[in-house]
Structure 1
Amino acid sequence: MKTVLHKANSRGNANHGWLNSFHTFSFANYYNPDRIHFGKLRVLNDDEVAPGMGFGTHPHDNMEIVSIPLEGDLEHRDSMGNTTVIREGDIQVMSAGTGILHSEYNKNKDKPVKFLQIWIIPNKRNVAPRYDQITLGKEIPKNQLIQILSPNPDDNGVWIHQNAWFHLGNFEQGSSVDYTLKDPKNNGVYIFVLDGKLDLDGIELSARDGLAVSDTSKFNLKSHANSQVLLMEVPMN
């Protein structure tokens, strides 16, 4: 098994006042030649948007974009005619395909909104643009991994044009879980700790740490505090 640890304080940071964004991989003005991507995982941004502020209308194409709200309310508008609000417990996905325009704003005037924005390089180019979202609720079952994304429209969670699977887990102190890769020959897993303390084979992970795992078919995560974690299994080539 190959692992690469990315500590939270090693991420790129852009604080624009209205936006405070931490970049796990190279993005905008942050460039690290050793951290361009992890397989088909291209962007993992940890964003906080000030009250009433947001991203004006801007374009995307040929990218699978996943948004996971962590706190507050994020209003989304796009050129497909969607106007929605996503909040903690929701998972949003867009297939940008041939091209879309969208905007994202903090709907609240009195508190920030925090969310993860994740870009996955698709396995099909120039598909018809698509939008979807699901609601998991704030209280997902504890001490197990819940699938929130897959390549299959009939499977649990949202789906994207890529051989990828995402899982969320809320773990109590002292619990552990095994993860078996869906496609161990081709895929790796990026582990991103949202909160708490976990370890994998003695590698200690704290809040906002990331661990890239490849060349294995399964691994075990142990929780040393009440913890929340996101696992992103993606193709490596």
Structure 2
Amino acid sequence: METTKQQIQVWRSEERGHENHGWLNARHSFSFGNYYNPARMGFRSLRVINQDIIAPGMGFGMHPHRNMEIFTYMLDGVLAHKDSMGNEGAIRPGQIQVMSAGKGVQHSEFNGSADQEASLLQIWLLPNEEGTEPSYTEWEPSAEHANDKLTLLISPDGRQGSATIRQDAFIYSIKLDAGESLELPVALGRGAWLQLVCGELELNGNHQLSAGDAASTEDAGTLTISAKSEVEALFFDLN
């Protein structure tokens, strides 16, 4: 982890926790499973960012969750979902699934392909209220916004047609071509986390990020992203 005078912390990909179970190759931005680092327990309400690669036909059998907002962002392949609320479906790149576990829910997640790996980010946020009724949503941007540079995926109130979670958090996808740039405001009292999925970028003119790297700040101002190659990233605006 690097800390700069601009109060931006850069979190390198290789510093993440790593577990390889054969059928599951996972990297953990924060403490999870067998990976424990007391300095990496989360960022504000953001508790888990796992980058998972799941072997064909393999996955997680039915297991419980409660009092957590769970968000899956597909990178490659297909993920099959089934839960105790009666939901059953599959998501692919460009789609997301959001599950508010609330007072308790069970679900399973499997690679829906017999011959292709599934690659995804699974993200957990702490809810702003516990013991609520669980819910499940599959979501994708409308056709006219599918290729936008900045797309609001998740919000607390569903604005701009986004999916909703029970937390004051706004989660955006970023897609830039080489040479393009984007400014991201950070309001006073809020925190920002930028997770680079693929590509290379320059942040605020002096931080170089590659795939798997992240950056965070709790200072008001503007984060300026300059894409050095084709870039895909997630941006979290957190209370």
Answering whether residue 216 of structure 2 is matched by residue 212 of structure 1, we say yes
The whole-number CA distance in structure 1 between the counterparts of 2:221 and 2:107 is 38
Paired residue secondary structure (1:52): coil
> Is the Cα contact below 8 Å between 1:25 and 1:44 reproduced in 2?
yes
Q: Name the structure 2 match of 1:190.
A: 193
Q: Which amino acid aligns with 1:200?
A: L
> Is the Cα contact below 8 Å between 1:140 and 1:170 reproduced in 2?
no
Q: Name the structure 1 match of 2:180.
A: 175
Match of 2:228 among 217, 224, 230: 224
Percent identical among aligned pairs is 38
Unpaired runs of at least 5, structure 2:
1-5
The whole-number CA distance in structure 1 between the counterparts of 2:175 and 2:74 is 15
Q: Name the structure 2 match of 1:64.
A: 69
The whole-number CA distance in structure 2 between the counterparts of 1:153 and 1:200 is 29
> Is the Cα contact below 8 Å between 1:92 and 1:132 reproduced in 2?
yes
> Is the Cα contact below 8 Å between 1:187 and 1:233 reproduced in 2?
yes
Paired residue secondary structure (1:29): coil
The whole-number CA distance in structure 1 between the counterparts of 2:189 and 2:127 is 15
Q: How does 1:39-58 map to 2 (within 5 A)?
A: 39-58=44-63
Q: Return the TM-score normalized by structure 1.
A: 0.94
Report Cα offsets for 1:12-62 as digits up to 9, x if no partner. Answer: 011000101100001011011111101110000000100000000000000
Residue 194 of structure 1, CA deviation: 0.9
Q: How does 1:60-139 map to 2 (within 5 A)?
A: 60-136=65-141
Q: Return the TM-score normalized by structure 2.
A: 0.93
Answering whether residue 24 of structure 2 is matched by residue 24 of structure 1, we say no
Residues 59 and 196 of structure 1: CA distance in aligned 2, closer, same or farther (over 3 Å): same
Paired residue secondary structure (1:31): coil
Aligned length: 232
The whole-number CA distance in structure 1 between the counterparts of 2:64 and 2:197 is 28
- Return structure 1 stretches of 4+ with deviation > 6 angstroms: none
> Is the Cα contact below 8 Å between 2:189 and 2:220 reproduced in 1?
no
The whole-number CA distance in structure 2 between the counterparts of 1:27 and 1:43 is 7
Q: Name the structure 1 match of 2:3.
A: none
> Is the Cα contact below 8 Å between 1:150 and 1:156 reproduced in 2?
no
Higher mean C-alpha displacement, 144-153 vs 70-79: 144-153
The whole-number CA distance in structure 2 between the counterparts of 1:232 and 1:156 is 17
What is the Cα-based RMSD across aligned positions, in Å? 1.5
Report Cα offsets for 1:2-21 as digits up to 9, x if no partner. Answer: 21111111110110001011
The whole-number CA distance in structure 2 between the counterparts of 1:55 and 1:197 is 32
Q: Name the structure 2 match of 1:14.
A: 19
Report Cα offsets for 1:175-198 as digits up to 9, x if no partner. Answer: 1111123xx233211101111111
Q: Which amino acid aligns with 2:39?
A: D
Q: Which amino acid aligns with 1:141?
A: N
Residues 137 and 68 of structure 1: CA distance in aligned 2, closer, same or farther (over 3 Å): farther
Report Cα offsets for 1:119-164 as digits up to 9, x if no partner. Answer: 000101111000011123899325x211111111354321100110
The whole-number CA distance in structure 1 between the counterparts of 2:67 and 2:19 is 25
Match of 1:4 among 5, 9, 18: 9
> Is the Cα contact below 8 Å between 2:189 and 2:218 reproduced in 1?
no
The whole-number CA distance in structure 1 between the counterparts of 2:47 and 2:158 is 22
